[in-house]
Homo-oligomer: A and B are copies of this chain.
Amino acid sequence: MPEISEADKHYNLWALLHQVSDIIFSARETELLQHGIPGMQAEVLFVIKAIGKDVTPAQISRLIFRRPHSVSGILNRMEKAGLVKKTKDLHRKNLVRVTITAKGEQAYKQALKRKSVQRIMSALSEGEQQKLKSLLETLRNKGLKELGMDSKKVPFPKFM
């Protein structure tokens, strides 16, 4: 059963990757919640900042790999919390634009304080970080291909 065992190995590696991502996300969220910002909302703030202007929910959805209805739910909660404002496009009434409010800018600045991520990443040496980056980039390219997306057109998440 060599084929099954290889599949299991691949799967376990993915499960580990996913778990580590969840762990760091969770550490970061614990830190952010001290400022009252859920992790996913912080992520959306970073994405809005990265896109710059004329931000639409569809763009956010593509950049955080969440389905439109999930993003819509997150944006509604963020609007309720006063972090973003949704406005209709002047020319295309069915198009929604998302902007960050003054309160959202404050939250963004708090979210930039990301000590937990630094503490965790410092567990790797400079060289190990480089190696990890290169391995992840390979998986990123292959994964985006699997999704039928052009990796050159998907922004590198260096803004987040």
Contacts and interface: CB of A to CB of B under 8 A. Distances in A.
Interface of A: 6-7, 9-28, 30, 64-66, 114, 116-124, 128-129, 131-133, 135-144, 146-147, 156-160
B65 A136 contact: no
Majority SS at the chain A contact face: helix
A160 B17 contact: no
B138 A123 contact: yes
A15 B158 contact: yes
A146 B133 contact: no
Given A14-B121, A138-B128, A23 B147 contact: yes
Nearest to A130: B13
A132 to B, nearest CB: 5
A52 to B, nearest CB: 17
Contact of A121 (B13, B64, B122): B13
A17 to B, nearest CB: 6
Nearest to A9: B129
Contact of A20 (B19, B24, B26, B143): B143
Nearest to A137: B16
